[in-house]
Amino acid sequence: MTAKRVFSGVQPTGNLHLGNYLGAIKRFVPLQDTHDCIYCVVDLHAITVWQNPQELLRAIREVTAAYLAAGIDPKRSIVFNQSQVAEHAELAWVFNCVARLGWLNRMTQFKEKAGKDRENASVGLYAYPNLMAADILVYRADAVPVGEDQKQHLELTRDIAQKFNNDFAAEIAAKGYNDGYFPLTEPLIAGPAPRVMSLRDGTKKMSKSDPSDYSRINLTDDADAIAQKVRKAKTDPEPLPSEEEGLKGRPEAENLVTIFSALSGRDKAGILAEFGGGQFSTFKTALADLAVESLAPMAGEMRRLMADPAGIDAVLRDGSNRARVIASKVMADVKDIVGLLR
């Protein structure tokens, strides 16, 4: 039996943060032992909002550096940037014709990102989930590790796969596929921290776009910045509880304990048994030390890799060549199925 295929992607839009790391990138690494993995820098998604071109190029290399520094092995896994494999955009067009307006109108992320000025949002931002479905399905991927905020997009991906399989059932069967052409991809939303929250507000997710840099720990922050952000993180006046039950209704406390758990690999019960009842400041000092210890080596490695952009570009070129072999075959099948001459 061949290994199942995993696909995931991260946008190169600057400020990679602890949420990206714990919710996604850190989890990509062990999947390499059990799956064939494809990890993408989704640059075409980034331009759904205007990006400074020089900054975009730098950010593409930085996400790649973060992948490698976290432990993704570009020999074992395919590491590449989306725009080098044209089949993503090509399949996305087919999916623009499969997905329904009503489906996209339900996407909460579009509503959040477009805000009040919807008329002024790019068409790309609106159609973005169709491109995401194409990213995944152009490799017919079985599973996608992501943070919780991507759940709705993965449900849409399954809806698109299902509708494509239904719309072209006869052609797909004639090609010898008995179970539909596209798999109903499984979301892997797991791990201790599928939703890391802002350090300034425990009810909002940690995000790249928060205007306050104190709301997030960036993967490139140095030890001083990390320690200061943890120290200043919002908390409530109560001491930490000794049991998990006591975290209910205390989003900031819960978030910090979750981050501790995800960085240390320890369960929350054990952490609360150790720190419960004590001062928040004691816990925060331990958390700051842990965060520095876990993230500083990665930041150092990212800096080292970024000093050799040609080396990073070579990784992406090699990965793109390998990705294209898979994607072009799927795209050829799709053309046959849909009735496009090739």
Taking CB under 6 A as the rule, does residue 11 contact ligand TYM?
yes
Applying CB under 6 A, the span of 9-17, 72-80, 116-124, 290-298 interacting with ligand TYM comes to: 9-17
Taking CB under 6 A as the rule, does residue 196 contact ligand TYM?
yes
Q: Is 335 a catalytic residue?
A: no
Residue with tokens 């090699």: 318
Q: Is 75 a catalytic residue?
A: no
Nearest residue to 181 via CA among 163, 194, 198: 163
Taking CB under 6 A as the rule, does residue 206 contact ligand TYM?
yes
Residue from 41, 65, 79, 132 touching ligand TYM (CB under 6 A): that is: 132
Taking CB under 6 A as the rule, does residue 229 contact ligand TYM?
no
- Angle, helices 123-137/151-167, rounded to nearest 10 degrees: 70
| Shortest distance, position 78 Cβ to ligand TYM, whole Å | 13
Give the side-chain half-sphere CA count within 13 A for 84.
Answer: 20
Task: Tell me the residue nearest to ligand TYM as measured from the CB.
Answer: 23
**CA 231 – CA 236 distance, rounded (Å):** 13
How many whole angstroms from its chain centre is CA 281?
Answer: 32
Residue from 26, 45, 140, 284 touching ligand TYM (CB under 6 A): that is: 45
Q: Is 205 a catalytic residue?
A: yes
Query: In the chain, what are the helix, strand and coil shares in percent, each to the nearest 5?
Result: 60, 10, 35
Q: Is 233 left (phi over 0), alpha (psi -120 to 50) or beta?
A: beta
Taking CB under 6 A as the rule, does residue 192 contact ligand TYM?
no
- For residue 55 the two structure tokens come to 């900054």
Query: Which residues are annotated as catalytic?
Result: 113, 205, 208
Q: Which residue ranges make up the site for ligand TYM (CB under 6 A)?
A: 7-11, 19-20, 23-24, 42, 45, 132, 135-136, 144, 146-147, 149-150, 153, 194-196, 205-206
